[in-house]
Amino acid sequence: MLPESVKSKSSKGSKKGSPSSSSKLPPVCYEIITLKTKKKKKMAAEIFPTKKPASTTTVQQYQQQNLNNNNTIQCCNWQGLYSTIRERNSVMFNNELMADVHFVVGQSGGTQRLPGHKYVLAVGSSVFHAMFYGELAEDNDEIRIPDVEPPAFLAMLKYIYCDEIDLSADTVLATLYAAKKYIVPHLARACVNFLETSLSAKNACILLSQSCLFEEPDLTQRCWEVIDAQAELALKSEGFCDIDAQTLESILRRETLNAKEIVVFEAALSWAEAECQRKEMNTNIDNKRKVLGQSVYLIRIPTMGLDDFANGAAQSGVLTLNETNDIFLWYTAAKKPELQFVSQPRKGLTPQKCHRFQSCAYRSNQWRYRGRCDSIQFAVDKRVFIAGFGLYGSSCGSAEYTAKIELKRQGVVLGTNLSKYFSDGSSNTFPVWFEYPVQIEPDTFYTASVVLDGNELSYFGQEGMTEVQCGKVTFQFQCSSDSTNGTGVQGGQIPELVFYA
């Protein structure tokens, strides 16, 4: 669940060799520029929906701070009330006292006039230094900034004046834009960290688009990790329809998408409908094909199952008659026609297995199942995606089991599935999958549980380990109070966690 806000304090290190007022800087730095892009900046509130809306908006909160800071200071020696320069500078934040510049921030109809102090701003940003003390500095008392939102500009000023980082889901993207524009790198890094910790399948596609806009390769990589592992959830999210055409193309090209091709096809059609609406075009089949353009050939339609193609893509109307006929021949004819569509299946992701037992055994009086729960708790040191569990099967010959698997965090169910698996009587483990991989955050314990119904006797694990290294991921295990059938760290069921990393 995304926190409404996060507050942290960081100390800005002293900058060696900072330029003096007489130093020459490129003229472009002192101008109020607008970052040019064809992409639309998304409000973070659209990307991070909250269940409980705040009682007051972020703008109102900052306006209240503005009122508080602009109160007349009664004490003639107010400087003596504060022991550090940081505290004294903080008093000047959004304060008319000694202000020698004003900013009119925001688009017409929603502007806010904010006071500033040139010296403090120049110390905090090389762009402000060039504006006020550079070779071509202009002595303007009022500066208009139409491309930055007032709450984001105030968040940046708070960092410059108070050395405090105050972010929320409503302002983080706009604050990142401001931090990039005015070259405040530590604030920009804090914004990126906020976004990375808030990543999920629901917002990964739109954040991928934004991360490319802001040229943040680390955030882009985190987005791809989520999209690859939880591709079907990401493609079905509302945010997918809001991405730009370039991001759509990069997703359709992705070799490691862990999704059925029919899901990719349906997601592309949903995006095309939304794009038609954005361009004020009728949402008919011809216009959908038109806005998809050459990207339609990146959908690997020939790799679909024949039923998916016949009942889905072939009847969608998006394909031409010749394309439909050629793809049917591709499925059935010995001599296959040439296609414009990519015909090789995506590689997807290879699941990894964390095996927590060093041996397994069976006895004539255990392991029995009578509706009781086998459960274990685990934690990881980096983000992974649990795709399912590996379970033991019958020790008395082949048998079929019904398994209800569940994954919880602090009592909240994150994933569950009811399925069957066939055991061949060996001591091997047998995979049981969740419908979608479940995102697991680091340094938090999760509870993995299973209720089995089937042959009364099965293999069980022994010599369990409290810590297991799987590639670059470290798993830690501890006993769960939910376990009522004897499973624990040292022995029992759920020998394997199947995951993507």
SS3 assignment for 242-280: HCCHHHHHHHHHCCCCCCCHHHHHHHHHHHHHHHHHHCC
Given a contact cutoff of 8 angstroms between Cβ atoms, the answer to whether 394 and 457 are in contact is: yes
Has domain 216-332 been given CATH number 1.25.40?
A: yes
Task: Give the other-Cβ count within 10 Å of 45's Cβ.
Answer: 18
CATH of domain 352-500: 2.60.120.820
Strand boundaries in 83-235, DSSP class E = 101-105, 112-116, 142-145, 164-168
CB 198 within 8 A of CB 72: no
Pick the CATH number of 75-198 from 3.40.50.1000, 3.30.710.10, 3.40.47.10, 3.40.50.1110: 3.30.710.10
Tokens encoding 333 = 């004819």
Q: pLDDT 10s per residue in the chain (501 long)?
A: 333 343 343 333 433 334 333 333 343 333 344 444 444 445 444 555 544 443 444 444 444 444 445 544 556 787 888 888 888 889 999 999 899 999 999 998 889 999 999 999 999 999 999 999 988 887 888 999 999 999 999 999 999 999 999 998 888 999 999 999 999 999 999 999 999 988 999 999 999 999 988 888 999 999 999 999 999 999 999 999 999 999 999 999 999 999 999 999 999 999 999 999 999 999 999 999 999 999 999 999 999 999 999 999 999 999 999 999 999 999 999 998 999 999 999 999 999 999 999 999 887 666 778 788 999 999 999 999 999 999 999 888 888 999 999 999 999 999 999 999 999 989 999 999 999 999 999 999 999 999 998 877 889 999 999 999 999 999 999 999 999 999 999 999 999 999 999
The answer to whether the beta carbons of residues 35 and 177 sit under 8 Å apart is: yes
> Would 75-198 and 216-332 be classified into the same CATH topology?
no
Domain boundaries along the sequence of the chain: 75-198, 216-332, 352-500
Instruction: Answer yes or no: pTM beyond 0.75.
Output: yes
The vertex-440 CA angle with 437 and 441, nearest 5°, equals: 150
Contact by Cβ (8 Å): 254, 347? no
The β-bridge relationship of strands 460-464 and 384-392 is unpaired
User: Which whole-number Å values give the CA distances from 266 to 281, 318, 471, in the listed order?
Assistant: 20, 11, 35
276 neighbors 291 (Cβ within 8 angstroms): yes
Angle at 230 between CA 295 and CA 304, to 5 degrees: 50
- The dihedral region occupied by 211, where left means phi > 0, alpha psi between -120 and 50, and beta the remainder, is alpha
Residue 90: count other Cβ atoms within 10 Å of its Cβ: 17
Q: Please state, in angstroms and rounded to a whole number, the distance separating the CA atoms of residues 97 and 93.
A: 10
DSSP code string of 384-420: EEEEEEEEE-BSSS-EEEEEEEEEEETTEEEEEEEEE
Residues belonging to the chain: 501
Rounded CA gap, 292 and 272, in Å?
6
